[in-house]
């Protein structure tokens, strides 16, 4: 019996050793087409019905029709959402006729600023980096936004830590979690599209500043106000 148990233990050890030698499966890198909803951007600002847009999603990404949720509002507006490859997509039409925006949620830590800049193909024109207390709890929260008015894009990364007194350093490896895609426009119009309030009404700490082009000059601004 002792010899039999020894053979079992040896077999288990060999199995573990062999599995350790096997290369880990590669994680599929998300494409720019997925990260920016590229095939769907041409619909923004155009008249399109919810069912027609759902067909476009099915054709562009191969998402089964039953995997696309259509929510119709009493006022005529509609909202579509679906998930694919760990990304959450949401598309809305406030008046039920014209497609207003596309929103994409990324898994925390899965997409870096560097990756988004590569996909957009240009540097942002403006950015906002702000942090402050997370009242009424302890710790701080932060938000980092990149604005691309010419493309109608706002990319955002946020975070919270109850033990930190300052936000993490900003670099090309800073993670982003949300992509907003609206109509190409001025900064003021894009800001209103994204946040729902005018740029002129925002507190100074919440107003975007020109992108310096050098990560060494990109920094957070402390803000103790509420509402962001």
Dump pLDDT digits (tens) for 114-169: 999 999 999 999 999 999 987 777 789 999 999 999 999 999 999 998 888 889 99
Phi, psi for 56 (deg, rounded to 5): -65, -40
Burial class of residue 37 in the structure, from the number of CB atoms within 10 Å of its CB (0-12 exposed, 13-18 middle, 19+ buried): buried
Average pLDDT over residues 13-38: 64
The CA-based angle 74-181-88, given to 5 degrees, is 70
- Chain segment 39-87, per-residue pLDDT in tens: 999 999 999 999 999 999 999 999 999 999 999 998 889 999 999 999 9
202: left (phi over 0), alpha (psi -120 to 50) or beta: beta
* CA 121, 123, 128, 132 torsion-angle sign: positive
């Amino acid at each position: 019996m002792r010899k039999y148990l020894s053979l079992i233990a040896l077999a288990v050890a060999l199995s573990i050793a062999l599995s350790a030698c096997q290369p880990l499966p590669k994680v599929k890198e998300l494409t720019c087409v997925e990260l920016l909803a590229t095939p769907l951007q041409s619909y923004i600002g155009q008249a399109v019905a919810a069912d027609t847009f759902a067909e476009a999603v099915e054709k562009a990404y191969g998402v089964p029709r039953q995997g696309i949720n259509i929510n119709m509002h009493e006022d005529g507006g509609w909202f579509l959402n679906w998930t694919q490859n760990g990304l959450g997509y949401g598309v809305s039409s406030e008046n039920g006729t014209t497609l207003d925006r596309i929103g994409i949620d990324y898994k925390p830590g899965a997409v870096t600023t560097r990756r988004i800049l590569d996909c957009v193909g240009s540097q942002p024109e403006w950015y906002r980096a702000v942090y402050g207390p997370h009242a009424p709890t302890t710790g701080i929260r932060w938000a980092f936004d990149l604005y691309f008015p010419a493309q109608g894009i706002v990319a955002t990364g946020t975070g919270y830590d109850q033990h930190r007194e300052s936000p993490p350093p900003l670099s090309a490896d800073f993670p982003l979690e949300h992509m907003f895609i609206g109509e190409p426009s001025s900064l003021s119009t894009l800001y209103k599209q994204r946040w729902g309030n005018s740029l002129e009404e925002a507190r100074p700490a919440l107003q975007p500043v020109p992108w310096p082009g050098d990560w060494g000059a990109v920094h957070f601004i402390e803000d103790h106000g509420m509402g962001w």
